[in-house]
């Protein structure tokens, strides 16, 4: 039975979904409207104490500030690399490691996208890789579908561990990185989905698919397994080093003729052709700087930080990956002899582009804090988070957790925001059910990664890059089945673990 407290606790999410999907409201506007709605409910229905209201807004701001630094740094680093044509040169070398379109596409859409997700994230991989796939001969729609598939399980650790580090801030996530990486191993099947899609409609479809199947499986394995081992040490590097190790292993085995089809098939080249303007060592040097700074920061700074006490407590960790992005970018600017006049506009543009996701994350962070703190009230009602957790309390929670996480990514376009929205619900529900909170949170974040395949925000951004309009239905038809099948697998793993 749906009581008034349950309805009012669910109402913000219903409004948020309707605004995004049916009213086609921007993510920022939908987030702000939802926050305003629940602020009114918290004040007039729950009767939240004024001090708790201020704490919710303050805590939400500082959680968002952490991720703003990462987004700003990542955008600045990427814009600088695009200006000096580093991205174009890396793409050239990755494209030309084999003359077979199936190998080229899987390398770009799977391993290179994973690397971009680990170092930049926030929709960047799809926007960069989709045009490259068109250049290899795929139609724009198919290129977008394949690049969306590639922007999936790498999102579990996202840009230097942000989805867990920020998305589950305040929760006990000690075991979450390793458990998530283990569950994420099911993602080795994603390159197989890619292969199925890119061979669809080909004259010798069955032969082309089967002959490249060993490579697709191998490409999946060489990313997911290294990610598990790296996650034992640090969640920040699971995607970055996992993809780097995967790329190296794929290069080696391809040169040795292992797991590759005997016949090399090329697609007709369309669009602008890439050219190299620097050596491979020169092209990859900026990322060497970045990885070095991240590793150094992890070792020498670690958990050092500043305790902020403003009526609430917040620990500001000095090892913020955003600082590594900024320092790496400045080093690149110095080595490539970029003048101050050329760098300052990039700083300004990065700041402006980072503001939109910053305000979205403030809104969702504050919303979650309000739901948690709404129990500190004059009405005597339980907090909204406690009320909602009762809805989640079902023996089938391990199966449904990935689907709920995927829904969060679908409507917000971000694994991190999905975690912020639903993390506390899962934590409370799992505790009340006697389930392992680490397992439930891990299932949810792997599901959220899968949900990036159907993320509306990424879909719209990539369409803009490819000059497409109103193709969402066609794209969704292409990515829905792989996404659903993967979620079924993850849900099944959840039931087994429970």
Q: Is residue 272 over pLDDT 60?
A: no
Contact between 437 and 431 (Cβ < 8 Å): yes
> Rounded CA gap, 126 and 131, in Å?
9
% of the chain residues with pLDDT over 90: 29
Q: pLDDT higher for 331 or 281? A: 331
Contact between 112 and 126 (Cβ < 8 Å): no
pLDDT of residue 486: 95
> Rounded CA gap, 144 and 130, in Å?
5
In 3-state terms the chain splits into helix, strand, coil percentages (rounded to 5) of: 75, 0, 20
> Rounded CA gap, 165 and 168, in Å?
6
| Residue whose structure tokens are 């409004």 | 15
Q: How far is CA 114 from CA 127, 159, 470, in A?
A: 13, 10, 27
pLDDT of residue 180: 93
pLDDT of residue 93: 76
Please give the backbone phi and psi of residue 307, each rounded to the nearest 5 degrees, phi first. Answer: -85, 120
Q: Which long-range contacts (CB under 8 A, 24 or more apart) does 249-254 make?
A: 249/222, 250/107, 250/111, 250/218, 250/219, 250/222, 251/97, 253/218, 254/97, 254/98, 254/103
Please tell me what DSSP assigns to residue 109.
Answer: I
Query: If you average pLDDT over every residue of the chain, what do you get?
Result: 84
Which segment, 256-270, 299-313, 359-373, is predicted with the most confidence on average? 359-373
> Rounded CA gap, 198 and 145, in Å?
10
pLDDT of residue 482: 93
Terminal C-alpha separation, the chain: 27
- Comparing 14-23, 93-102, 426-435, the range with the smallest average pLDDT is 93-102
Contact between 421 and 168 (Cβ < 8 Å): no
pLDDT of residue 155: 86
Collapse the DSSP code of 232 into the 3-class scheme (helix H, G, I; strand E, B; otherwise coil) and give the result.
coil
Res. 444 pLDDT band, cuts 50 70 90: very high
Collapse the DSSP code of 47 into the 3-class scheme (helix H, G, I; strand E, B; otherwise coil) and give the result.
coil
Please tell me what DSSP assigns to residue 493.
Answer: H
Residues 6+ apart with CB under 8 A from 352: none
Tell how far CA 412 is from the center of its chain.
11
What's the average model confidence in pLDDT over 145-167? 84
Quick check: pTM over 0.85? no
Q: Is residue 418 over pLDDT 70?
A: yes
What's the average model confidence in pLDDT over 204-223? 93
% of the chain residues with pLDDT over 70: 93
Which segment, 157-161, 212-216, 342-346, is predicted with the most confidence on average? 212-216
Q: Is residue 491 over pLDDT 90?
A: yes
Res. 245 pLDDT band, cuts 50 70 90: very high
Q: Pull the structure tokens for residue 179.
A: 């458990």
> Count of residues for the chain?
498
Q: How would DSSP label each residue in 303-371?
A: T-EEEEESSSEEEEES--HHHHHHHHHHHHHHHTT--HHHHHHHHHHHHHHHHHHHHHHHHHHHHHHHH
> Rounded CA gap, 423 and 425, in Å?
5
Domain assignments of the chain as residue spans, ordered by start: 86-277+382-497
Express each pLDDT in 300-315 by its tens digit. 776 677 887 777 777 7
148: nearest Cα among 190, 94, 184, 181: 190
Express each pLDDT in 446-473 by its tens digit. 999 999 898 876 776 677 667 676 676 7
pLDDT of residue 99: 76
pLDDT of residue 270: 45
Q: Is residue 490 over pLDDT 90?
A: yes
167: nearest Cα among 423, 409, 406, 363: 423
Partners of 313 in beta bridges: 309
> Rounded CA gap, 96 and 445, in Å?
34
Largest Cα–Cα separation, the chain: 73
Rama region for 137: left / alpha / beta (φ>0; ψ in -120 to 50; rest): left
> Rounded CA gap, 325 and 123, in Å?
17
SS3 per-residue string spanning 458-494: HHHHHHHHCCCCCCHHHHHHHHHHHHHHHHHHHHHHH
> Rounded CA gap, 156 and 181, in Å?
8
What's the average model confidence in pLDDT over 8-17? 87
| Residue whose structure tokens are 């994350």 | 361
pLDDT of residue 273: 56
Residues 6+ apart with CB under 8 A from 475: 141, 144, 145, 148, 459, 463
Please tell me what DSSP assigns to residue 237.
Answer: G
Q: Pull the structure tokens for residue 306.
A: 């500043």
Q: pLDDT higher for 456 or 8? A: 8
Q: Is residue 271 over pLDDT 50?
A: no
- Comparing 91-100, 271-280, 298-307, the range with the smallest average pLDDT is 271-280
């Amino acid at each position: 039975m749906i009581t008034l407290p349950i309805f009012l606790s669910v109402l913000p999410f219903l409004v948020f979904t309707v605004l995004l999907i049916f009213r086609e409201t921007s993510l920022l506007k939908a987030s702000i409207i939802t926050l305003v709605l629940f602020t009114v409910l918290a004040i007039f229905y729950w009767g939240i104490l004024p001090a708790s209201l201020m704490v919710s807004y303050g805590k939400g701001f500082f959680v968002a500030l952490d991720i703003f630094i990462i987004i700003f740094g990542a955008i600045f680093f990427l814009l600088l690399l695009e200006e000096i044509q580093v991205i174009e040169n890396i793409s050239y070398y990755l494209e030309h490691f084999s003359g077979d379109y199936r190998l080229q596409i899987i390398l770009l859409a799977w391993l290179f996208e994973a690397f971009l997700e680990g170092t930049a994230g926030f929709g960047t991989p799809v926007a960069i890789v989709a045009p490259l796939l068109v250049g290899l001969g795929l139609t724009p729609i198919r290129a977008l579908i394949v690049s969306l598939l590639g922007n999936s399980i790498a999102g579990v650790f996202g840009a230097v561990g942000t989805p867990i580090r920020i998305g589950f801030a305040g929760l006990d996530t000690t075991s979450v990185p390793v458990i998530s990486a283990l569950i994420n191993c099911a993602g080795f099947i994603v390159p197989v989905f890619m292969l199925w899609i890119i061979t669809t409609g080909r004259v010798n479809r069955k032969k082309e698919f089967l002959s490249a199947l060993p490579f697709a499986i191998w490409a999946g394995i060489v990313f997911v397994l290294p990610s598990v081992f790296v996650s034992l040490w640090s969640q920040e590097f699971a995607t970055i080093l996992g993809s780097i190790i995967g790329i190296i292993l794929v290069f080696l085995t391809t040169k040795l003729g292992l797991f590759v089809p005997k016949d090399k098939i090329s697609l007709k080249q369309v669009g602008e052709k890439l050219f190299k303007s620097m050596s491979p060592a020169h092209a990859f040097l900026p990322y060497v700087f970045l990885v070095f700074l991240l590793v150094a920061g992890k070792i020498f700074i670690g958990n050092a930080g500043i305790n902020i006490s403003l009526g609430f407590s917040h620990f500001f960790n000095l090892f913020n990956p955003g600082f590594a992005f900024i320092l790496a970018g400045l080093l690149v600017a110095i080595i490539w002899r970029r003048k101050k006049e050329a760098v300052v506009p990039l700083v300004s543009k990065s700041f402006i582009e980072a503001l939109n996701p910053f305000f979205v994350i403030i809104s969702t962070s504050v919303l979650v804090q309000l739901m948690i703190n709404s129990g500190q009230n004059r009405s005597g009602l339980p907090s909204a988070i406690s009320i909602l957790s009762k809805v989640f309390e079902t023996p089938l929670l391990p199966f449904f957790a990935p689907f709920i996480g995927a829904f969060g990514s679908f409507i917000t376009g971000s694994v991190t925001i999905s975690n912020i929205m639903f993390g506390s619900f899962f934590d409370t529900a799992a505790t009340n059910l006697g389930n392992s909170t680490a397992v439930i949170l891990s299932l949810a974040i792997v599901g959220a990664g899968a949900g990036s395949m159907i993320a509306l925000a990424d879909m719209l951004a990539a369409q803009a890059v490819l000059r497409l309009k109103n193709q969402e239905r066609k794209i969704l038809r292409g990515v829905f089945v792989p996404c659903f099948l993967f979620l079924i697998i993850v849900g099944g793993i959840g039931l087994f673990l429970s």
